Structure 1
Amino acid sequence: MNKTKLFLFIIIICSLISSCSTALDDYQEVNKPFDIKRYFDGRVIAWGIVQDYSNKVSRRFCVEIEGTWQGNEGVLAEKFYFNDGEISYRNWQLSKKMDGSYEGQAEDVIGTAIGKHQGFAFQFQYQLSLIVEDESYEVSMDDWMYQLDEFRVMNKTSMSKLGVKVAEVTLFFDKQTQVKKCPGGDAA
């Protein structure tokens, strides 16, 4: 293959790859934009799965979330119940900024998480310190939430290390359900 054809081939492949990525600007404004401050105020229950790099489901879980806000400062207290019996916690400290974006910190988050919304979508990006079999790994989280209606939100999170996807987390949040706790949970 001569240099001109190789150059054109590389340009075509690069443009195809870049056209497959998702950007927040892909989501147009809607009448009722997704407001995480409003949605995560009070109790929310979610169910999810973790899939490894080959898309095999490696874990299932339920999470109870209690959101409290004072002005533009909020706390999301999360309690995870995994199918293998593990229970873990994460407490997000969130701040809504003047431009409508969010910043967040939690015990296992390295630095500051940055969140932005557009229409019915919310993107949250951060570095997470992940403990696996007593080893700590720093992974990049690209967290996308999509509001389906006032009660339900879908969440897809891509977890990567050095730019390579190592796992994916999928969650379904529901505020409407009458379920008050996760199986195995002790909350009323």
Structure 2
Amino acid sequence: MTRYKLLALAALLAGCAGPDVQQYRNTTPTLDLPAYFSGTTDAWGMFQKRDGTVARRFHVEITGTPTKDGMTLDEQFRYDDGKTERRIWQLMRDGDHQWRGTAGDVKGEAHGEQAGNALRWQYTLLLPVDGTTYEMQFDDWMFLIDRCTMINRASMRKFGVELGQVTLTFRKRTCAP
């Protein structure tokens, strides 16, 4: 096997490795996705390059509306450079602890698995940069801290190589002081 094939195989295997969401099945508080995101939720986040440099900060206002089979999440982003973006997720239950979802800038379907206070959410985001759209694989891990607060850490990869991370802190507006 050539050196390049070995490197590609190692990158592929590293991209598949990671914790199993089921290890969190006994953690509390238990995450109920529709209950947490119903109404308005604010989130503050940042994108860090793989060297740790913060490249972008943002605020998201999320409006969650229950539907027959799941919920709609309307996300309004405002970045530190003044740019805005909108993403509307359609989330559907796919069994007891499984979720799937679609959004306009997501390729195919996103898939999620929930256990205890955790949700692992995986999808391919179509990310426009300087006139070119890149397919970026996201591996999101969300952890409910208390009834008002959730923390999300996402790895962003291309060809199995991590290019950066997104960190978000969510806060339900009904919990504001």
TM over 0.5: yes
Answering whether residue 111 of structure 2 is matched by residue 124 of structure 1, we say no
Cα offsets for 1:36-95 (capped at 9, x unmatched)? 111010100000000011110000000000000023231100000000010000000010
Matched, 1:148 2:145: yes
Please state which structure has a larger fraction of its residues in strand: 2
The one of 135, 139, 147 aligned to 2:136: 139
Is contact 1:138–1:161 with CA below 8 Å preserved after alignment?
yes
- Give the conservation status (yes or no) of the 8 Å contact 1:72–1:97: no
Following the alignment from structure 2 to structure 1, what is the Cα–Cα distance between the partners of residues 25 and 95? 21
Query: Taking every aligned residue pair, what percent have the same amino acid on both sides?
Result: 37
Could you tell me whether the CA contact under 8 Å between 1:63 and 1:78 is conserved in 2?
yes
**What's the offset of the Cα at 1:31?**
5.2
With the length of structure 2 as denominator, give the TM-score of the two structures.
Answer: 0.86
In the other structure, the counterpart of 2:20 is 23
Distance in 1 separating the partners of 2:77 and 2:28: 33
Aligned residues: 161
Q: Distance in 2 between matches of 1:25 and 1:31?
A: 13
Q: Secondary structure at the match of 1:22?
A: coil
Query: Normalization by structure 1: what TM-score?
Result: 0.81
For each residue in 1:5-58, what CA deviation from the matched residue of structure 2 results, as whole angstroms up to 9, or x when unmatched? xxxxxxxxxxxx79x832212213235421111101010000000001111000
Secondary structure at the counterpart of residue 25 of structure 1: helix
Larger Rg: 1
- Superposed CA RMSD in Å reads 1.6
Give the stretch that moved more between structures: 21-30 or 52-61: 21-30
Secondary structure, counterpart of 1:104 in structure 2: strand
Amino acid paired to 1:99 = D
Q: 1:134, 1:120 → 2: CA distance?
A: 39
Q: Which runs of 5+ in 2 are unaligned?
A: 1-13
Matches within 5 A, 1:92-131: 92-131=89-128
